[in-house]
Chain A
Amino acid sequence: MLGTWPCPEQIPGNSCDELAICCDTGGDRRVLVLPALFEEANKLRHFTVEVMRELQQRGVTSVLPDLAGCNESLQVLGEQTMASWQDQARAAASHFNATHILTIRGGALLDPGHLPGVRYAPIEGLNLLRGMLRTRVISDKEAGMNSDRDTLLEQGKAHGLTLAGYRLGPAMIAQLADALPPHSMATQIAHSAVGGGALWLRAEPAHEPQQAAKLATLVADETG
Protein backbone atom coordinates (compact mmCIF):
# COMPACT_ATOMS: atom_id res chain seq x y z
CA MET A 1 0.00 0.00 0.00
CA LEU A 2 2.98 2.32 0.61
CA GLY A 3 5.48 3.03 -2.11
CA THR A 4 7.66 5.81 -3.41
CA TRP A 5 7.61 7.87 -6.55
CA PRO A 6 10.22 10.05 -8.29
CA CYS A 7 9.07 13.56 -7.45
CA PRO A 8 10.65 16.22 -9.69
CA GLU A 9 12.79 18.82 -7.96
CA GLN A 10 13.00 22.45 -8.95
CA ILE A 11 16.35 21.83 -10.64
CA PRO A 12 15.27 20.40 -14.02
CA GLY A 13 16.11 16.74 -14.42
CA ASN A 14 16.51 16.11 -10.68
CA SER A 15 14.06 14.12 -8.64
CA CYS A 16 13.77 12.82 -5.12
CA ASP A 17 11.80 9.85 -3.83
CA GLU A 18 8.60 10.77 -2.05
CA LEU A 19 6.10 8.50 -0.41
CA ALA A 20 2.81 7.52 -2.04
CA ILE A 21 -0.18 5.64 -0.67
CA CYS A 22 -1.63 3.29 -3.23
CA CYS A 23 -4.88 1.30 -3.03
CA ASP A 24 -4.40 -0.97 -6.01
CA THR A 25 -7.09 -3.21 -7.47
CA GLY A 26 -5.13 -4.22 -10.57
CA GLY A 27 -7.95 -2.74 -12.67
CA ASP A 28 -7.56 -0.19 -15.41
CA ARG A 29 -9.33 2.69 -13.66
CA ARG A 30 -6.58 4.59 -11.84
CA VAL A 31 -7.38 7.74 -9.87
CA LEU A 32 -4.71 10.26 -8.88
CA VAL A 33 -5.75 11.90 -5.60
CA LEU A 34 -4.63 15.50 -5.08
CA PRO A 35 -5.42 16.20 -1.44
CA ALA A 36 -6.43 19.37 0.40
CA LEU A 37 -3.59 21.75 1.22
CA PHE A 38 -1.97 22.84 4.47
CA GLU A 39 -4.16 22.64 7.59
CA GLU A 40 -7.11 21.36 5.59
CA ALA A 41 -4.92 18.41 4.59
CA ASN A 42 -4.60 17.48 8.27
CA LYS A 43 -8.32 17.78 8.84
CA LEU A 44 -9.08 15.62 5.80
CA ARG A 45 -6.27 13.04 5.94
CA HIS A 46 -8.38 10.25 7.44
CA PHE A 47 -11.27 11.08 5.14
CA THR A 48 -8.98 11.08 2.07
CA VAL A 49 -7.48 7.67 2.80
CA GLU A 50 -10.90 6.28 3.64
CA VAL A 51 -12.22 7.47 0.27
CA MET A 52 -9.34 5.54 -1.34
CA ARG A 53 -10.25 2.37 0.58
CA GLU A 54 -13.86 2.79 -0.47
CA LEU A 55 -12.74 3.25 -4.08
CA GLN A 56 -10.77 0.01 -3.84
CA GLN A 57 -13.93 -1.79 -2.75
CA ARG A 58 -15.62 -0.40 -5.86
CA GLY A 59 -12.84 -1.79 -8.09
CA VAL A 60 -11.06 1.54 -8.61
CA THR A 61 -7.32 1.97 -7.99
CA SER A 62 -6.22 5.22 -6.39
CA VAL A 63 -2.91 6.74 -5.48
CA LEU A 64 -2.08 9.60 -3.13
CA PRO A 65 1.44 10.94 -3.68
CA ASP A 66 3.27 13.10 -1.15
CA LEU A 67 4.23 16.38 -2.75
CA ALA A 68 7.63 17.86 -1.88
CA GLY A 69 7.59 19.50 1.55
CA CYS A 70 4.39 17.69 2.65
CA ASN A 71 3.85 14.80 5.07
CA GLU A 72 6.89 12.49 5.05
CA SER A 73 8.86 14.55 2.54
CA LEU A 74 12.34 15.69 3.56
CA GLN A 75 12.19 18.62 1.16
CA VAL A 76 11.82 22.10 2.62
CA LEU A 77 8.24 23.38 2.42
CA GLY A 78 9.44 27.00 2.32
CA GLU A 79 11.15 26.34 -1.00
CA GLN A 80 8.05 24.96 -2.69
CA THR A 81 5.74 27.02 -4.88
CA MET A 82 2.34 26.40 -6.42
CA ALA A 83 4.15 26.05 -9.77
CA SER A 84 6.50 23.36 -8.38
CA TRP A 85 3.56 21.47 -6.90
CA GLN A 86 1.68 21.73 -10.20
CA ASP A 87 4.70 20.24 -11.97
CA GLN A 88 4.82 17.46 -9.38
CA ALA A 89 1.10 16.72 -9.78
CA ARG A 90 1.56 16.45 -13.55
CA ALA A 91 4.58 14.16 -13.06
CA ALA A 92 2.63 11.99 -10.60
CA ALA A 93 -0.27 11.65 -13.06
CA SER A 94 2.15 10.42 -15.68
CA HIS A 95 4.23 8.20 -13.36
CA PHE A 96 1.19 6.39 -11.98
CA ASN A 97 -0.58 6.19 -15.38
CA ALA A 98 -3.60 7.92 -13.92
CA THR A 99 -6.76 7.67 -15.98
CA HIS A 100 -8.79 9.91 -13.66
CA ILE A 101 -8.32 12.50 -10.97
CA LEU A 102 -9.89 13.33 -7.63
CA THR A 103 -9.00 16.74 -6.23
CA ILE A 104 -10.04 17.69 -2.72
CA ARG A 105 -10.46 21.38 -1.76
CA GLY A 106 -7.18 23.21 -2.55
CA GLY A 107 -5.92 20.17 -4.46
CA ALA A 108 -8.00 21.55 -7.36
CA LEU A 109 -5.38 24.32 -7.69
CA LEU A 110 -2.84 21.65 -8.71
CA ASP A 111 -5.09 19.85 -11.22
CA PRO A 112 -3.11 19.14 -14.42
CA GLY A 113 -6.47 19.56 -16.18
CA HIS A 114 -6.24 16.77 -18.74
CA LEU A 115 -7.90 14.00 -16.74
CA PRO A 116 -11.60 13.40 -16.13
CA GLY A 117 -12.80 12.66 -12.61
CA VAL A 118 -14.10 14.67 -9.67
CA ARG A 119 -13.18 18.04 -8.23
CA TYR A 120 -14.60 18.02 -4.70
CA ALA A 121 -15.45 21.34 -3.01
CA PRO A 122 -12.67 23.37 -4.67
CA ILE A 123 -11.40 26.53 -3.03
CA GLU A 124 -9.62 29.50 -4.57
CA GLY A 125 -6.06 30.16 -3.44
CA LEU A 126 -6.87 33.58 -2.04
CA ASN A 127 -9.70 32.20 0.12
CA LEU A 128 -7.42 29.49 1.46
CA LEU A 129 -4.72 32.05 2.16
CA ARG A 130 -7.11 34.50 3.82
CA GLY A 131 -8.29 31.75 6.18
CA MET A 132 -4.68 31.06 7.16
CA LEU A 133 -3.95 34.78 7.50
CA ARG A 134 -6.98 35.14 9.76
CA THR A 135 -5.65 32.33 11.96
CA ARG A 136 -2.44 34.32 12.26
CA VAL A 137 -4.33 37.56 13.09
CA ILE A 138 -6.28 35.79 15.86
CA SER A 139 -3.21 34.13 17.36
CA ASP A 140 -1.35 37.46 17.18
CA LYS A 141 -4.22 39.05 19.11
CA GLU A 142 -4.03 36.31 21.72
CA ALA A 143 -0.34 37.16 22.11
CA GLY A 144 -1.23 40.84 22.55
CA MET A 145 -0.11 41.94 19.08
CA ASN A 146 -2.25 43.67 16.49
CA SER A 147 -1.92 42.55 12.90
CA ASP A 148 -4.15 42.63 9.87
CA ARG A 149 -4.44 40.37 6.89
CA ASP A 150 -3.61 42.90 4.17
CA THR A 151 -0.33 43.91 5.81
CA LEU A 152 0.56 40.28 6.55
CA LEU A 153 -0.16 39.33 2.96
CA GLU A 154 2.15 42.05 1.61
CA GLN A 155 4.80 41.02 4.14
CA GLY A 156 4.40 37.38 3.06
CA LYS A 157 4.70 38.18 -0.62
CA ALA A 158 7.96 40.00 0.08
CA HIS A 159 9.61 37.81 2.71
CA GLY A 160 7.54 34.67 3.25
CA LEU A 161 5.44 33.99 6.33
CA THR A 162 4.63 31.31 8.88
CA LEU A 163 0.89 30.69 8.70
CA ALA A 164 -0.90 28.17 10.90
CA GLY A 165 2.46 26.50 11.53
CA TYR A 166 3.45 26.30 7.86
CA ARG A 167 6.53 28.22 6.75
CA LEU A 168 5.67 29.45 3.27
CA GLY A 169 8.12 31.16 0.94
CA PRO A 170 7.34 34.48 -0.78
CA ALA A 171 6.76 32.85 -4.18
CA MET A 172 4.31 30.34 -2.67
CA ILE A 173 2.31 33.13 -1.00
CA ALA A 174 2.27 35.30 -4.12
CA GLN A 175 1.21 32.39 -6.33
CA LEU A 176 -1.37 31.13 -3.84
CA ALA A 177 -2.95 34.59 -3.70
CA ASP A 178 -3.59 34.43 -7.45
CA ALA A 179 -4.30 30.70 -7.76
CA LEU A 180 -7.63 29.69 -9.28
CA PRO A 181 -8.69 26.13 -10.07
CA PRO A 182 -7.58 25.74 -13.71
CA HIS A 183 -9.76 24.54 -16.54
CA SER A 184 -10.38 20.85 -15.97
CA MET A 185 -12.04 17.84 -17.48
CA ALA A 186 -13.13 16.77 -14.00
CA THR A 187 -16.69 17.24 -12.79
CA GLN A 188 -17.02 19.73 -9.97
CA ILE A 189 -19.10 18.66 -6.99
CA ALA A 190 -20.05 20.78 -4.00
CA HIS A 191 -19.87 19.48 -0.45
CA SER A 192 -23.69 19.39 -0.33
CA ALA A 193 -23.53 16.40 -2.71
CA VAL A 194 -21.60 14.50 -0.01
CA GLY A 195 -23.72 15.70 2.90
CA GLY A 196 -23.04 16.15 6.62
CA GLY A 197 -20.89 18.85 8.16
CA ALA A 198 -17.78 19.75 6.17
CA LEU A 199 -14.85 17.97 7.82
CA TRP A 200 -12.33 20.72 7.03
CA LEU A 201 -14.29 23.02 9.35
CA ARG A 202 -13.83 20.78 12.36
CA ALA A 203 -11.72 22.10 15.20
CA GLU A 204 -10.20 18.63 15.53
CA PRO A 205 -9.64 16.17 12.68
CA ALA A 206 -12.65 13.88 12.52
CA HIS A 207 -14.08 11.23 10.29
CA GLU A 208 -17.55 10.31 9.08
CA PRO A 209 -17.49 7.02 7.14
CA GLN A 210 -20.70 7.82 5.27
CA GLN A 211 -19.11 10.95 3.75
CA ALA A 212 -16.13 8.94 2.47
CA ALA A 213 -18.46 6.27 1.05
CA LYS A 214 -20.60 8.88 -0.69
CA LEU A 215 -17.63 10.63 -2.31
CA ALA A 216 -16.17 7.28 -3.39
CA THR A 217 -19.49 6.40 -5.04
CA LEU A 218 -19.53 9.71 -6.90
CA VAL A 219 -15.93 9.19 -8.07
CA ALA A 220 -16.55 5.56 -9.06
CA ASP A 221 -19.60 6.69 -11.07
CA GLU A 222 -17.45 9.24 -12.92
CA THR A 223 -14.82 6.64 -13.74
CA GLY A 224 -17.36 3.99 -14.74
Chain B
Amino acid sequence: MPRAMATNLPAKTDKIEETELVLRQVLADVLGLAPGQVAGFSADSGLFGYLPELDSMAVAGLLTEIEDRLDILIEDDEIDGEMLETFGALLAFVTDKRQAV
Protein backbone atom coordinates (compact mmCIF):
# COMPACT_ATOMS: atom_id res chain seq x y z
CA MET B 1 0.00 0.00 0.00
CA PRO B 2 1.44 3.40 -0.87
CA ARG B 3 1.67 5.70 2.08
CA ALA B 4 0.28 9.19 2.36
CA MET B 5 3.69 10.58 1.49
CA ALA B 6 3.38 9.02 -1.98
CA THR B 7 2.26 12.39 -3.30
CA ASN B 8 5.62 13.81 -2.34
CA LEU B 9 8.00 10.96 -2.98
CA PRO B 10 11.47 11.57 -1.59
CA ALA B 11 14.46 11.16 -3.85
CA LYS B 12 15.88 7.64 -4.01
CA THR B 13 18.93 8.48 -1.91
CA ASP B 14 16.71 9.94 0.81
CA LYS B 15 14.79 6.70 0.90
CA ILE B 16 17.99 4.67 1.28
CA GLU B 17 19.19 6.94 4.09
CA GLU B 18 15.83 6.70 5.80
CA THR B 19 15.89 2.90 5.53
CA GLU B 20 19.33 2.80 7.15
CA LEU B 21 18.23 5.16 9.92
CA VAL B 22 15.15 3.09 10.71
CA LEU B 23 17.14 -0.14 10.65
CA ARG B 24 19.69 1.30 13.10
CA GLN B 25 16.85 2.54 15.32
CA VAL B 26 15.13 -0.87 15.37
CA LEU B 27 18.45 -2.56 16.17
CA ALA B 28 19.01 -0.09 19.00
CA ASP B 29 15.55 -0.91 20.37
CA VAL B 30 16.08 -4.66 20.10
CA LEU B 31 19.61 -4.71 21.49
CA GLY B 32 18.97 -2.00 24.07
CA LEU B 33 21.83 0.14 22.78
CA ALA B 34 22.21 3.88 22.71
CA PRO B 35 21.84 5.43 19.24
CA GLY B 36 25.55 6.28 19.29
CA GLN B 37 26.52 2.64 19.71
CA VAL B 38 24.39 1.50 16.79
CA ALA B 39 25.77 4.35 14.68
CA GLY B 40 29.07 2.48 14.93
CA PHE B 41 27.67 -0.57 13.10
CA SER B 42 29.38 -1.00 9.73
CA ALA B 43 28.32 -3.18 6.80
CA ASP B 44 30.52 -5.98 8.18
CA SER B 45 29.14 -5.86 11.73
CA GLY B 46 27.90 -9.35 12.58
CA LEU B 47 24.31 -9.84 13.71
CA PHE B 48 22.57 -13.25 13.82
CA GLY B 49 25.09 -15.80 15.00
CA TYR B 50 27.48 -13.12 16.30
CA LEU B 51 25.43 -11.42 18.99
CA PRO B 52 24.32 -14.05 21.51
CA GLU B 53 21.31 -12.03 22.63
CA LEU B 54 19.99 -11.92 19.07
CA ASP B 55 18.21 -15.28 19.14
CA SER B 56 15.37 -16.45 16.91
CA MET B 57 12.81 -14.71 19.10
CA ALA B 58 14.63 -11.40 18.98
CA VAL B 59 15.14 -11.71 15.22
CA ALA B 60 11.43 -12.40 14.74
CA GLY B 61 10.64 -9.22 16.68
CA LEU B 62 13.26 -7.30 14.72
CA LEU B 63 11.83 -8.31 11.34
CA THR B 64 8.25 -7.62 12.39
CA GLU B 65 9.20 -4.16 13.63
CA ILE B 66 11.09 -3.44 10.41
CA GLU B 67 7.97 -4.44 8.46
CA ASP B 68 5.79 -2.12 10.52
CA ARG B 69 8.09 0.88 10.41
CA LEU B 70 9.03 0.60 6.72
CA ASP B 71 5.69 -0.66 5.44
CA ILE B 72 7.12 -3.76 3.77
CA LEU B 73 6.28 -7.46 3.98
CA ILE B 74 8.99 -10.07 4.52
CA GLU B 75 7.99 -13.56 3.40
CA ASP B 76 9.02 -16.63 5.38
CA ASP B 77 11.04 -18.04 2.48
CA GLU B 78 13.03 -14.81 2.19
CA ILE B 79 14.43 -15.21 5.70
CA ASP B 80 17.78 -16.96 5.70
CA GLY B 81 21.01 -16.91 7.63
CA GLU B 82 22.77 -14.87 4.96
CA MET B 83 20.46 -11.84 5.03
CA LEU B 84 20.62 -11.78 8.82
CA GLU B 85 24.34 -12.34 9.12
CA THR B 86 25.62 -8.78 8.90
CA PHE B 87 24.26 -5.28 9.17
CA GLY B 88 25.19 -4.69 5.52
CA ALA B 89 23.33 -7.79 4.30
CA LEU B 90 20.19 -6.93 6.24
CA LEU B 91 20.32 -3.32 5.05
CA ALA B 92 20.72 -4.46 1.42
CA PHE B 93 17.77 -6.83 1.77
CA VAL B 94 15.50 -4.21 3.34
CA THR B 95 16.58 -1.53 0.83
CA ASP B 96 15.73 -3.85 -2.09
CA LYS B 97 12.37 -4.59 -0.52
CA ARG B 98 11.57 -0.91 -0.20
CA GLN B 99 12.61 -0.13 -3.77
CA ALA B 100 10.25 -2.84 -4.93
CA VAL B 101 7.26 -1.31 -3.13
User: Which positions in A face B, CB cutoff 8 Å?
Assistant: 39, 127, 130-132, 134-139, 141-142, 146-149, 164, 197-198, 200-204, 206
List residues 13-66 of chain B with CB under 8 A from any CB of chain A. 26, 28-32, 51, 53-65
Cβ of B79: which chain A residues have Cβ within 8 Å of it? Answer: 134, 137-138, 141
Query: What is the size, in residues, of chain B's interface with A at 8 Å between Cβ atoms?
Result: 25
Bound complex: CA of A170 vs CA of B26, how far in Å? Answer: 33
CB-CB under 8 A for A201 and B30, given A131-B61, A135-B56, A138-B60: yes
**Contact of B81 with A by CB under 8 A:** yes
Shortest distance in angstroms between B98's beta carbon and chain A's nearest beta carbon? 20
Q: Given A141, A149, A197, which contacts B32 in the complex, CB threshold below 8 Å?
A: A197
A203 & B65 in contact (Cβ 8 Å cutoff): no
Q: Which chain A residue shows the least CB distance to B62?
A: A201
B29 & A197 in contact (Cβ 8 Å cutoff): yes
Q: Count CB-based A-B contacts (< 8 Å).
A: 65
Report 27 cross-chain contacts, Cβ distance below 8 Å, ordered by A residue: A39-B57, A127-B64, A131-B64, A134-B63, A135-B57, A137-B60, A137-B76, A137-B79, A138-B59, A138-B60, A142-B81, A148-B76, A149-B76, A164-B57, A197-B29, A200-B61, A201-B26, A201-B30, A201-B61, A201-B65, A202-B30, A202-B58, A203-B31, A203-B51, A203-B55, A203-B57, A206-B32
**Most A C-beta atoms less than 10 A away, residue of B59, B62, B65, B76:** B76
Cβ of B55: which chain A residues have Cβ within 8 Å of it? Answer: 203
Q: Which chain B residue shows the least CB distance to A204?
A: B53
B81 & A141 in contact (Cβ 8 Å cutoff): yes
Cβ of B51: which chain A residues have Cβ within 8 Å of it? Answer: 203
Bound complex: CA of A132 vs CA of B31, how far in Å? Answer: 19
Cβ of B76: which chain A residues have Cβ within 8 Å of it? Answer: 134, 137, 147-149
